[in-house]
Amino acid sequence: MKPMGRLGAGIGWRPEIADAVERLPGLDWVEVVAENVCPGHLPEALLRLRERGTKIVPHGVSLGLGGADRPDPAKLAALGERAVALGAPLVTEHIAFVRTTSPVLEAGHLLPVPRTRDALDVLCENVRIAQDALPVPLALENIAALFSWPGEEMTEGQFLTELVERTGVRLLVDVANLHTNRVNRGEDPAAVLDAIPLEALAYVHVAGGIERDGVWHDTHAHPVPPVVLDLLAELRSRVDPPGVLLERDDDFPVEAELASELAAIRAVVTPGAGTEEDSPARARESVAGQDGGPAGTTGAAGAADDGARTRVALGQAALLSALVAGTPVPEGFDRARIRVQARALAAKRADVVAKLAPELPVILGGRGPYREAFLTYAKARPMTAGYRRDALDFAEHLLVRDLPAGLAARRRLTSWWRERSGARPPHPLVRWARALTGRAA
């Protein structure tokens, strides 16, 4: 595998901290959520970073390469367009599924794939499709999970190793996710690091979280804890990572705290803490090929047969339906953990919709009434087409029921909905008919 270009120390770029990011000392690169930028209308702050030579990597969250369906060509094209517009050296995504098509359901979150032969065959074919469509190399991230799949056939290390061997894809190792999975799934991070091909490492994510009632929540809204820095040191003892990035998505601290966290990360990965020459990854690289796959392989992943895709689709549909549509939890899953995940997905939906449509909490009388109304809506209406559509569906859900109760608030909500949907609000008779037939349920 060809050596990965150096990235250095970076931070996840977010609009809320754009000014602070520009002033951070010694910043080498940034990562931006691909779906949050438009190639033709890049934020001025990102343009200034690009002009001064700061590398920018688009990080996708919606491809769902671990899903049963083949990747959406339009989503692949959009990710590629962002890579070109940003002059990116690579793009990254996740080993996860995010939706099902039968039934049509959106998780709005990254969910783990089962570590089975069927799921690996599907994932490898999907990765190959993505690699062929993208203009730059692809790296995939291990995700954090609240639960495990029953009947898994491989460990995380075996799954990731075979993925790399069959596709030549790079790995984005998130050490915070390794810690999450240690708490939530009982997995040994050191065993994962020992097993995976670190010569395929593209870069590393570092982030904070919090533990509640024995569950670790990967919030990206808390300081990086010492236990995650310890895992970064574990990784550094095995390989010199080409890049390390601090992720922060919410509850942003003051600029000095961001700089301090970056300094702590740099201190862990400073050369001298370990050397490439004596690392396990360097030893494996001596037998690795230079054209995308390890020596002794053709680099081609066999296509997943229709039976494998069908079996993966059925399992993912049953799980996602239980998480977002209230159907029974499939046999073998930890029901308590599935309930925790279901609540987390609904809460995330409410938070993201409020961020995309900040007028809604205001119209509904504040965060508390908004959240109560949204969670009631979410119980009966799984998301099927993304968060922006979800905001409009929530508003229509309220209007169909002649909510909110206050006439002035209902008029404001009607106006908000009309401006964004391009349609007339439902006539009272239509509302009554929809309620009667259950369409608005």
Average pLDDT for residues 292-297, to the nearest whole number?
37
**pLDDT, tens digit, for every residue of 28-71?**
999 999 999 999 899 999 999 999 999 999 999 999 999 999 99
Q: Which two tokens stand for residue 346?
A: 């609904």
**pLDDT, tens digit, for every residue of 161-174?**
999 999 999 999 99
The single-letter DSSP state of residue 38 is: -
**pLDDT, tens digit, for every residue of 67-126?**
999 999 999 999 999 999 999 999 999 999 999 999 999 999 999 999 999 999 999 999
Q: Which residue bears the tokens 């508003």?
A: 395
How many Å apart are CA 164 and CA 299, to the nearest integer?
Answer: 9
Q: How many Cα atoms occupy the beta-carbon half-sphere of 27 within 13 Å? A: 27
Q: How confident is the model at residue 432 (pLDDT cuts 50, 70, 90)?
A: low
How many Å apart are CA 409 and CA 372, to the nearest integer?
Answer: 16
Type of residue numbered 404: P
Query: What is the share, in percent, of the chain residues with pLDDT greater than 70?
Result: 88
What pLDDT, on the 0 to 100 scale, is given for residue 271?
Answer: 62
**pLDDT, tens digit, for every residue of 357-368?**
999 999 999 999
Contacts 24+ apart (CB under 8 A), 379-386: 379/326, 379/346, 380/441, 381/441, 382/105, 382/106, 382/321, 382/324, 382/325, 383/105, 383/106, 383/107, 383/108, 383/324, 383/349, 384/104, 384/105, 384/106, 385/104, 385/106, 386/106, 386/108
Note the pTM of the prediction, 2 decimals.
0.87
**pLDDT, tens digit, for every residue of 242-265?**
999 999 998 899 999 999 999 999
Nearest CA-CA partner of 325 in 311, 344, 342? 342
What pLDDT, on the 0 to 100 scale, is given for residue 289?
Answer: 34
CA angle 395, 396, 397 (to 5 degrees): 90
Q: How confident is the model at residue 273 (pLDDT cuts 50, 70, 90)?
A: very low
Are 265 and 244 contacting, i.e. CB atoms less than 8 angstroms apart?
A: yes
What pLDDT, on the 0 to 100 scale, is given for residue 173?
Answer: 98
Query: What is the share, in percent, of the chain residues with pLDDT greater than 90?
Result: 82
The mean-pLDDT minimum among 33-47, 206-220, 276-290, 382-396 falls in: 276-290
**pLDDT, tens digit, for every residue of 221-232?**
899 999 999 999
What pLDDT, on the 0 to 100 scale, is given for residue 195?
Answer: 97
DSSP letters spanning 236-295: HTT---SEEEE---SS---HHHHHHHHHHHHHHHSTTS--STTSHHHHHHTT--SSSS-T
What pLDDT, on the 0 to 100 scale, is given for residue 4?
Answer: 82
Q: Which residue bears the tokens 């993925």?
A: 163
What pLDDT, on the 0 to 100 scale, is given for residue 440?
Answer: 41
For residue 99, the surrounding DSSP H or E stretch is: strand 97-101
Where does 264-411 show beta strands of DSSP type E? none
What pLDDT, on the 0 to 100 scale, is given for residue 325?
Answer: 95
**Residue with more model confidence, 259 or 422:** 259
Q: How confident is the model at residue 270 (pLDDT cuts 50, 70, 90)?
A: confident
How many Å apart are CA 435 and CA 441, to the nearest integer?
Answer: 7
CB burial readout 404-424, b (16+ within 10 A) else e: beeeebbebbbebbeeeeeee
- The answer to whether the Cα torsion of 423, 429, 431, 435 is positive or negative is negative
Q: Mean pLDDT across the chain, nearest whole number?
A: 89
Give the number of other Cβ atoms within 10 Å of residue 392's Cβ.
Answer: 17
**pLDDT, tens digit, for every residue of 191-217?**
999 999 999 999 999 999 999 888 888
Q: Measuring CA to CA, how many Å separate 433 from each of 30, 124, 194, 426?
A: 51, 47, 61, 10
